[in-house]
Amino acid sequence: MSTQNNSAVNNNKNVWIIITIASLGYFVDIYDLIIFSIVRITSFHDIGVPLDEMRTKGEFVLNMQMGGLLIGGLIWGIIGDKMGRMKVLFGSILMYSLANIANGFVNDVTTYGIIRFIAGIGLAGELGAGITLVSETMHKSKRGYGTMLVASIGVLGALLAYYVSSEYNWRIAYFVGGGMGLLLLLLRFGSLESGLFKKEENTNVKKGDVTMLFSNKERLKRYLNCLCIGLPIWFVVGVLVTQAPEIGKALGAEVELNAGKGVMFTYIGISLGDVLAGLFAQVFKSRKKVVFICQVIIIISSTWYLSSTGITETKFLWLAFFMGLGVGYWATFVTISAEQFGTNLRATVATTAPNFVRGALIPSTILYGYIVDQFGIITAAFVMIFLLSGIAIYSLTQLKESFDKDLNYIEE
């Protein structure tokens, strides 16, 4: 009996260690992921970008970062399924930490973009590997609480990013992000691998084979629907909030809207939203219902924001918070993606899905830019948010409920 009690205590201890490691990793990941959106204006001013090129150059750098996330998602996903979840958590944080330190030395937009691309590759591995590790370690009826904690603690990295960038030079802000990552890397030594991965590690089962996602029609449809439910998230953060100065001008705001503050308030909303999404999923015993509610909040808050003629900064910050609540299903989205697939493809899916969604900001901003040129920035934003949320809602109806699903299986 005492042996069983000791085993249970050790297992609980291991679960909390894994949750802590994943949470802190995502904290640093979010800091480094959104630091450019916060320091875009000040850093561009400092390196001599003309005012009329702020939006287009900003989209270039952001798209370079998103492109890196796209490629990195594939790389780290395959490594996660073939070599283990912990290998990803070590390699990815080392890459993006060094890249962010390098970003503190840039003096031109091209170099800025290239280094954000490298950082993007590194940043791609953190969340998917962390969520996969937590999901496979915790009991199936409680894993929603674990992923909720990872995301809600992690997104608070945005608050630190805003604080550091407002108190110190933007170059220092990049150095701080890189330094935190290197410190966290040291804390990860001795961490435990997923038991489900270790069970399949020495078998002949195909692991991390991306072609398996495309060789089966039903599996491909399942994967694409997982991607599509996350489409509105990064458009809200990467365009509606990041381009607040330009959108505010179009709305006739009396003062220039502060994108950095907007991002901070959005991430406060996302942090609370992740907690609420996780709790409501446990209450409803359904992740799909929660994601649908979030889509409704996104549409309502975005419409309110884009209809606010003469918007004040206070109103913008409150609306940024509400939009953050709406896109606060990020962890739930990644968890749904992880739960839809077997152990031999789980890390690949859980890592590629959030990064493909981030990468989808590239075609989204291209289409958005075209509509801006034709009809103006407000109309373009309206069209995009209704289009992306509409796609997300449709895809949600095509997925099976995955709450309380047993994850001890493989894809044949």
Domains of the chain: 2-193+209-398 (1.20.1250.20)
Write down the pLDDT at residue 208. 62
Write down the pLDDT at residue 307. 94
Write down the pLDDT at residue 5. 47
Write down the pLDDT at residue 358. 78
Write down the pLDDT at residue 2. 47
Write down the pLDDT at residue 6. 45
Please tell me the distance from the alpha carbon of residue 143 to that of residue 125, in angstroms, as a whole number. 20
Ranges under pLDDT 70 in the chain: 1-13, 140-141, 188-208, 406, 408-409, 411
Per-residue pLDDT of 216-232, as tens digits, reads: 899 899 999 999 999 99
Write down the pLDDT at residue 200. 54
